[in-house]
Chain A
C-alpha cells in the first residue's frame, strides 16, 4: 500500500523541549516537504528536500530543523527556539521536475502539535 505516513498523530511539547515529527513515504518520490498550517491560513513551507542529504529552507524555517539521510524519510525537529509551535504539520512528497516541483504534491495525514 503506497503512501505517506506521519507520526505521531498528536504531539505535546513542554517549554524548552525539542520534539521530532516523523514522515515516511514509500512512493519512491524524490522530493519531500514540510508545511505548517494554522487556523484560517494557507499552508506555509518550512523546509523541502529534493535529494538525499540535501534540503532547502522554506518561508518559515526559523526554529525548525530537518534531515534527509534516506530517500524515504524526512523528519522535522521543532526546536525550543520556535516560540509558537502549536499548529498542524503536514508532510508531502512529489516527483522532482527540476524546479521546486512540477509534479503534484501528495500529503500525509498530519501531526497536530500542542504546547503544554
Chain B
C-alpha cells in the first residue's frame, strides 16, 4: 500500500512566525507533489505544486522536495490567523495519494 504520512497536529504557531509542515511518502516512483489547504467544512484548494528536488517559492509559501529522502515540506512565513486550516499533502505516482492532513492553528 502506497502511503503518505503527515503529522496530524494540531500545530500551533504565533502570528508572524514560520509554520513548517512535513510529509513523507512511500512510493519512490512518485513524480508530482502538491499541498492543499482545507478550511473546516470546505473543499481542498491548491496552494503549491512541486515536481523537482529543491525549493519552490510562491509569496509566503515555500515547498521543499527531497526525493532521495521521500520527503516534502511546506513552509509558511509570516503566518496569519487566516492560515489556520488543515493542510493536505498529495503525492502522484501511478495514482494520487493524500495524507490525512496537518491541522495548523495560528494564534493572534
Contact = CB atoms under 8 A, between A and B. Distances in A.
Interface residues of B, number: 24
B25 to A, nearest CB: 12
**In terms of DSSP, what is the predominant structure of the interface of chain A?**
loop
Contacts of A42: 4, 88, 97-101
A107 interface: yes
Given A42-B88, A102-B32, A110 B42 contact: yes
Given A40-B8, A43-B98, A104 B88 contact: no
Nearest to A103: B32
**In terms of DSSP, what is the predominant structure of the interface of chain B?**
strand
Contacts of B43: 90, 107-110
Interface string B1-41: 00010001000000000000000000000011010100000
A114 interface: no
Contacts of B44: 43, 90, 107
Nearest to B31: A102
Interface of B: 4, 8, 31-32, 34, 36, 42-46, 49, 88, 90, 92-101
Interface of A: 33, 35, 40-43, 45, 90, 99-102, 104-110
